[in-house]
Amino acid sequence: SQQGEEDPQALSIQEGENATMNCSYKTSINNLQWYRQNSGRGLVHLILIRSNEREKHSGRLRVTLDTSKKSSSLLITASRAADTASYFCASITGGFKTIFGAGTRLFVKA
């Protein structure tokens, strides 16, 4: 089974709305990362949050981490049609083994 699991599997919203995606993981981590994948392309790094951090911002992105619940969330504010993509969380263990979840497919309607 995979270390990370995203929720929801798919999300459809209107442009301008906020999109929230959640991720759960199973074992202790060194850090957790979020990636974006456009159809047919490789993954692109969005943001990294370390195990001793609780919240991090980058532009329209906000990531939270709750190590007691082994969960993280990614919030995209004021979404745009160009944000349409799949989003993956990746949990990085102390041994730097990186495990990805199944992803959330986000569709932003113009």
Partner 1 sequence: NAGVTQTPKFRVLKTGQSMTLLCAQDMNHEYMYWYRQDPGMGLRLIHYSVGEGTTAKGEVPDGYNVSRLKKQNFLLGLESAAPSQTSVYFCASSYAGNTIYFGEGSWLTVV
* Strand pairing category for 104-109 and 10-14: parallel
Does residue 106 belong to the site contacting partner 1 (CB under 8 A)?
no
CA dist 23 and 34 (Å) reads 9
Place of tokens 């993280």: 72
- Select 4 or 19, whichever has its Cβ closest to partner 1: 4
Does residue 99 belong to the site contacting partner 1 (CB under 8 A)?
yes
Of 13-21, 57-65, 74-82, 86-94: span binding partner 1 (CB under 8 A): 86-94
Q: What is the CA radius of gyration of the chain?
A: 13
The one-letter code for the residue type at 29 is: I
**Min CB(16)–partner 1 separation in Å:** 28
**Min CB(1)–partner 1 separation in Å:** 9
Instruction: Name the nearest CA neighbour of 4 among 101, 92, 104.
Output: 101
Residues at the contact surface with partner 1, assessed by CB under 8 A = 2, 4, 6, 30-31, 33, 35, 40-45, 48, 88, 90, 92, 96-103
